[in-house]
């Protein structure tokens, strides 16, 4: 019963996050919302694993969390450097 309530609550939060993703005023808001969508999908998968009693779904939730972390790091790197190239490559192009 608790699993169903948790899934419903996270689903409502997911809908609000999707609204923020598509109507965010800045690119930073959209990047944060995209990361949050992945985390909320992982929470829904974990709730489904508890509800159904299937431990294999936990692997899906962990994979989604890993993808969210990698995506967040890539987006933050892009926002900071405005490129995905390493600093040494960019330094050689400037001179």
23-32 pLDDT per residue, tens = 878 888 888 8
* CA–CA distance, 45 with 59 (Å, rounded to integer): 9
> pTM for the whole thing?
0.76
Q: How confident is the model at residue 89 (pLDDT cuts 50, 70, 90)?
A: low
- Which tens digits make up the pLDDT trace of 10-19? 999 999 999 9
Per-residue confidence (pLDDT) for residue 39, from 0 to 100: 93
Reported as a single tens digit per residue, the pLDDT across 30-86 is 888 989 999 999 999 988 888 888 888 899 899 999 999 998 888 888 887 777 666
In angstroms, rounded to a whole number, what is the distance separating the alpha carbons of residues 93 and 35?
Answer: 32
């Amino acid at each position: 019963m608790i699993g169903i309530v948790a899934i419903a609550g996270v689903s409502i939060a997911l809908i609000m996050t999707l609204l923020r993703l598509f109507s965010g005023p800045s690119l930073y808001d959209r990047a944060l919302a995209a990361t949050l969508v992945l985390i909320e999908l992982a929470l829904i998968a974990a709730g489904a694993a508890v509800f159904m009693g299937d431990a294999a779904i936990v692997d899906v939730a962990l994979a989604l969390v890993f993808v969210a972390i990698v995506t967040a790091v890539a987006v933050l790197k892009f926002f900071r450097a405005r490129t995905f190239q390493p600093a040494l490559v960019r330094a050689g192009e400037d001179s």
